Chains A and B, each alone.
Chain A
Amino acid sequence: MAAWTPDQPLVCIRDVHLAFGKVQVLNGMSLDVMQGGVVCIIGPSGAGKSTLLRCVNALVPIDRGSILVEGQEVHDVKLDKLQLRRKVGMVFQQYNLFPHRTALENIMMAPIHVLKRPRGEVEAEARALMRKVRLEGKEDSYPGELSGGQQQRVAIARSLAMQPDIMLFDEVTAALDPETVKEVLVTIRELAEEGMTCMIVTHEMGFAREIADEIYFTDRGVVVEHGPPAEFFANARDPRTRQFLSQIL
């Protein structure tokens, strides 16, 4: 296979099928993410959005189809999954910070133990990341002492510390109090503006419209329709999309 070049999609998903038991979760999902692009995936719950993200960093194996990240087949059995996951950062709905470590340690753990980088260097970077997500002064707090929004920002910083090429956001604001949603969205927007490639599963339509280069509407395991936000929200063609949008907008 030819080496990956930046003009090809950074993530290329083609005809991915996946079933959990008898439930067909992904039913021929296809989508592309260009480098520096921001893709928002929306759709009713059960559409397979979160599962798709988990497939991209090989947390969940697929049954059929292909997912290429930087030209590498993710579900190749010979693939070094750890190598892949260093390139792909993921932030979860439930933050999943490590409760027995402070915010700073949460950020430092992976670079030190996975990338084997020197502690001093990593610590300086971790402090910079804490500043970047506007949590200066919270370095020594334990996750339990932080609000949901703060925890989520630590989780974002923790992923960024691995210097990924792409970030996956899995409904990162769905578990947050309304007043803390904004601070997390601001952080993500800043990342996107800096040119980070992002795949975002979200229910925040306003946010998706504002930030996305391309919006994918998924339902029952397939992409129903996609397009740039302006076009997508103004004149959706598929009746399912229109019904979904009318319910939430």
Chain B
Amino acid sequence: MIPNATDLPVLKPFRPGAPLPGGELACAPTFRFPSPHSRSEWRGEGNLDTCASASAWGASAPPLTPAHAVVLVMALAIAIGIGQAAAAPAAPSILATLIKWTPLLAQGFALNIAMSFLAMGIGTVLGFVLGLALISLHRPVRGVAWFLTEFFRNSPWLVLLFYCMLLLPFELRIGDTIVPLPGWMKSTLGLSLAVMANVAELVRGAVNSIPFGQWEAAEALAFTRLQTLRMVILPQCIKRMTPPWMNLYAILTVGTPLASVVGVSEAMTLTGDILAAENRSELLVPMYLYLLLWFFLYCYPIARFTVSLERRFQVR
């Protein structure tokens, strides 16, 4: 079965194998991502499963194919056709109506994209910090980080949104300046909490997937722990993290319409408003399909790019 765009490794609880015992190199540094041809036989080897990350990163098949796009466009065309047939003879054509509202939809969609960018940015920065706390040598730090990660990773995004909407003030007073906190900003913060927890887990998983020998070698060269992380471990993690990170972004983007429930005027809310203004029931299906197409067109290239990145990292 081909996993689809929302069935992505990032959202599955990631449990790398037990930390490798010192010197026991189940996963030798010479280990490389297998080429696509050798993947199946490589998976058969049980002991390499301790390098769980590798299989978690590399395993997803193309999440979306051009066939999906064709189906989507055809569905839209059929919906328009059916809607047209059901419409009153005097009403303007559905296609013309869609085009008429496109600029407004684009405005709303731009807000979705802005929210996704911002939430991803904030979430990634916070998530990196949280992820490093997850691998801290300091037990209390690790405990708190673990709690935060599990809490935000396992809370429904919508609940987080509501909490942010209701608990955050509508403006922040920093010294003498008053920073307004509009609804879209608050819901962006809510989304970034979810992103943060997922990124933290990505960081932890990626760090744990680096063979223990790398730590040992750096330690033997008198690197401090911080230097080891910064110069040896994290650079190798970034590469492994990029594909699941982009998957997470695609999921976040399709999650931004959640903000419509808490009253942010993004594309989903506007679509509802448009339908209310037009008050024509035959518009309902084509309009929402049209919106779906927008999200698809935005996320599809990202999904393709993720897949190509995964392939490239596998070969090297």
A binds B: yes
Indicate with 1 or 0, residue by residue over A87-121, a CB within 8 angstroms of chain B CB atoms: 01110111111111000000001100110000000
Contact assessment for B28 and A98 in the assembled complex, using a CB-CB cutoff below 8 Å: no
Residue of B nearest to A109 (CB): B231
Complex interface: stretch among A53-61, A192-200, A228-236: A53-61
Contact assessment for A109 and B30 in the assembled complex, using a CB-CB cutoff below 8 Å: no
Chain B residues contacting A94 (CB-CB under 8 Å) are 25, 28-30, 211, 213
Contact assessment for A144 and B22 in the assembled complex, using a CB-CB cutoff below 8 Å: no
Chain A residues contacting B232 (CB-CB under 8 Å) are 98
Indicate with 1 or 0, residue by residue over A72-98, a CB within 8 angstroms of chain B CB atoms: 000000000011011011101111111
State whether the Cβ of A162 lies closer than 8 Å to any Cβ in chain B: yes
Complex interface: stretch among B84-92, B220-228, B242-250: B220-228
Residue of A nearest to B227 (CB): A113
- Interface residue ranges of B297-316 to A (CB < 8 Å): 316
Q: How many residues of A contact B (CB 8 A)?
A: 36
Task: Say how far A170's CB is from chain B's closest CB, in angstroms.
Answer: 8
Among A90, A98, A148, A175, point to the contact of B220 (Cβ < 8 A).
A90
Separation of A152 and B138 alpha carbons in the complex (Å): 34
Range class of the B interface residue count: 20 to 34
Contact assessment for A110 and B223 in the assembled complex, using a CB-CB cutoff below 8 Å: yes
State whether the Cβ of A158 lies closer than 8 Å to any Cβ in chain B: yes
**Known: A96-B213, A175-B28. Contact between A57 and B220, CB under 8 A?**
yes
Task: Say how far A200's CB is from chain B's closest CB, in angstroms.
Answer: 16
Residue of B nearest to A58 (CB): B219
State whether the Cβ of B150 lies closer than 8 Å to any Cβ in chain A: no
Chain B residues contacting A143 (CB-CB under 8 Å) are 29
Indicate with 1 or 0, residue by residue over B187-226, a CB within 8 angstroms of chain A CB atoms: 0000000000000000000000001011011111111100
State whether the Cβ of A159 lies closer than 8 Å to any Cβ in chain B: yes
Separation of A51 and B23 alpha carbons in the complex (Å): 9
Chain B residues contacting A85 (CB-CB under 8 Å) are 219-222
Contact assessment for A114 and B221 in the assembled complex, using a CB-CB cutoff below 8 Å: yes
**Known: A100-B235, A144-B316. Contact between A95 and B29, CB under 8 A?**
yes
**Known: A94-B30, A100-B235, A113-B231. Contact between A86 and B213, CB under 8 A?**
no
Task: Say how far A57's CB is from chain B's closest CB, in angstroms.
Answer: 6
Contact assessment for B30 and A54 in the assembled complex, using a CB-CB cutoff below 8 Å: no
State whether the Cβ of A50 lies closer than 8 Å to any Cβ in chain B: yes
Chain B residues contacting A148 (CB-CB under 8 Å) are 30
Chain A residues contacting B231 (CB-CB under 8 Å) are 109, 113
Chain A residues contacting B25 (CB-CB under 8 Å) are 93-94
Separation of A148 and B28 alpha carbons in the complex (Å): 12
Task: Say how far B207's CB is from chain A's closest CB, in angstroms.
Answer: 14
Chain A residues contacting B236 (CB-CB under 8 Å) are 98-100
Contact assessment for B217 and A98 in the assembled complex, using a CB-CB cutoff below 8 Å: yes
**Known: A54-B23, A60-B22, A148-B30. Contact between A113 and B223, CB under 8 A?**
yes
Separation of A143 and B28 alpha carbons in the complex (Å): 13
Separation of A12 and B107 alpha carbons in the complex (Å): 75
Residue of B nearest to A162 (CB): B221
Chain B residues contacting A90 (CB-CB under 8 Å) are 217, 220
Contact assessment for B30 and A95 in the assembled complex, using a CB-CB cutoff below 8 Å: yes
- Interface residue ranges of A35-78 to B (CB < 8 Å): 50-51, 54, 57, 59-60
Some 18 contacts from A to B, beta carbons below 8 A apart, are A50-B23, A54-B22, A54-B23, A59-B216, A59-B220, A86-B222, A92-B213, A94-B28, A95-B29, A95-B30, A96-B216, A96-B217, A98-B232, A99-B29, A113-B223, A113-B227, A155-B217, A158-B221
User: 3 closest Cβ contacts across the A-B interface?
Assistant: A96-B217, A85-B222, A96-B213
